Amino acid sequence: MNKFLTFFLVAVSFGNISYAESQGELLFDQKCAACHSKTFPKDMNTVVAPAVMGVMRHVKMDYPKKADAVAFIKDYALNPSRDKAICMAQKIKRFGLMPSQKGNVTEEELEVIASWMFDNFPPKDFRGMGMGNRFK
């Protein structure tokens, strides 16, 4: 009986992780992918915002702990400002400041999205295009 209970609890845990992963990607696709791509853009002329892999590279440089990164993403998405920006100066010049997502996404949705982003980006083989010069 104990073996069955242990197996059941482990299966439920993995199921919840898988569900959270799929919810994070689904919410990203619904709320973020209109501007932020999940892959390297094929045509840079159509890009309206940095790809998530580059965004997360910079987020993780300043916020290597998941909880801190998630808190930053939630705050920045709802209350963006130049003084909070962690991207390179040329990104702000090219794309402008991200518009507030208030009314488009809830804090709860952002928690799921940001957690999924942290766990999945950037890919291990990702090399940024810039020199790492920060806006600040």
Tens of pLDDT, residues 97-135: 999 999 999 999 999 999 999 999 998 888 766 544 443
Is residue 135 included in any domain, yes or no?
no
- What does the pLDDT look like over 43-91, one tens digit per residue? 888 899 999 999 999 999 999 999 999 999 999 999 999 999 998 889 9
Is residue 131 included in any domain, yes or no?
no
Look at the chain and report how many structural domains it folds into. Answer: 1
- Token couple for 22: 């799929």
CA dihedral 92, 94, 97, 98 (to 10 degrees): -120
Taking phi over 0 as left and psi of -120 to 50 as alpha, with beta for the rest, 132 belongs to left
CATH of the domain at 26: 1.10.760
Q: Which range of residues forms the domain containing residue 97? A: 2-120
Is residue 60 included in any domain, yes or no?
yes
Taking the whole predicted model, whether its pTM rises above 0.75 is answered as yes
Is residue 8 included in any domain, yes or no?
yes
